[in-house]
Amino acid sequence: MHPLRLLSAAAVLLGASVLPQPVLAAGGRPVPTAWTQLQASADHNAVFSGSPTAHTWTFPTGGLIVSGLSLVGHVLYVESLDHDLYAVDGATGSLRWMHPTEGEDMPAPALVDGRLVFANGNDVVQALSLRSGATRWRVPIRGVATMASAAAKGTTVFMVAGQSPVSTLVPPVVTFAVDALTGRILWQAPYGDADCSPTLGDGLVFVESSETLKGVKGPDTAVP
């Protein structure tokens, strides 16, 4: 099963009936069958060939869908502006579970070691069980993440959050790394844009900051 597309205006998730044959992304790398974060991998570089197939099921939500899809084990994970996060069976379009959310409902989560990790603009970062949707951990981060989807490498998840409320004592936006297994904040740096997702490469976290591009390396924990 392969997700075809999202119709945001109709708030309907469509499912295609045929899993396409593996193709190569830019640089000759095989495309993974599981999409565990935005654009499939931490460098956000997903290039595909071929034509889409017709959908065989629809799954309506109670609000617009503006977040990215995540996929693992033939289960799709997506947030909707109705303030729910859905796990949908990719083969049948049936609901596996749903979890109420607070905040923006726009960032795509990262799927790491049986956990769905996301910051959603409600001053916390949290992890849910992929199997049940139950909360594994929930940690305050004093900031919002609007359009900035998570990026993951190994068991480390990288996010960008704008501070809320705005304070002169802390940077307005920070890039931070969190341990997906425990929720422990590994490090944070005063850079980033809460509307732009971090990208990983060459041992650095690349973020936009004040109309410039910055490469950030954690002071205590290097990018895996």
Answer for the pair 137, 128: CB distance below 8 angstroms, yes or no. no
Would you say the pTM of this structure is higher than 0.75? no
Q: Which range among 8-12, 52-56, 112-116, 122-126 shows the weakest confidence by mean pLDDT?
A: 8-12
Cα–chain-centroid distance for residue 189?
A: 20
Per-residue model confidence (pLDDT) at position 176: 86
Q: Is 59 a residue whose pLDDT tops 70? A: yes
Q: Is 101 a residue whose pLDDT tops 70? A: yes
Quick one: tokens of 78?
Answer: 């997506």
In the chain, pLDDT over 90 holds for what percent of residues? 22
Average pLDDT, the chain: 74
222 in any annotated domain: no
Q: Which range among 1-15, 144-158, 185-199 shows the weakest confidence by mean pLDDT?
A: 1-15
224 in any annotated domain: no
Task: Sort strands 110-112 and 173-179 into parallel, antiparallel or unpaired.
Answer: unpaired
Quick one: tokens of 183?
Answer: 């929720």
Quick one: tokens of 69?
Answer: 């899809």
131 in any annotated domain: yes
Sign of CA dihedral 192, 143, 146, 218: positive
166 in any annotated domain: yes
Per-residue model confidence (pLDDT) at position 96: 96
Domain count, the chain: 1
What are all long-range contacts of 201-204, with beta carbons under 8 Å and residues at least 24 apart? 201/42, 201/43
Q: What is the DSSP string of 47-86?
A: ---S----EEEEEE-SS---SPPEEETTEEEEEETTTEEE
Q: Which range among 39-43, 117-121, 197-201 shows the weakest confidence by mean pLDDT?
A: 39-43
147 in any annotated domain: yes
181 in any annotated domain: yes
Domain residues for the domain of 168 are 2-216
Burial class from Cβ neighbours inside 10 Å (0-12, 13-18, 19+) for residue 20 reads: middle
Which CATH number does the domain housing residue 35 bear?
Answer: 2.130.10.10
Q: Is 2 a residue whose pLDDT tops 70? A: no
What is the tens place of the pLDDT at every residue in 167-176?
444 557 888 8
223 in any annotated domain: no
127 in any annotated domain: yes
The span from the CA of 143 to the CA of 121, in Å, is 7
Q: Which range among 92-96, 102-106, 125-129 shows the weakest confidence by mean pLDDT?
A: 102-106
Quick one: tokens of 115?
Answer: 């956990």
What is the tens place of the pLDDT at every residue in 180-200?
999 999 988 887 777 778 888
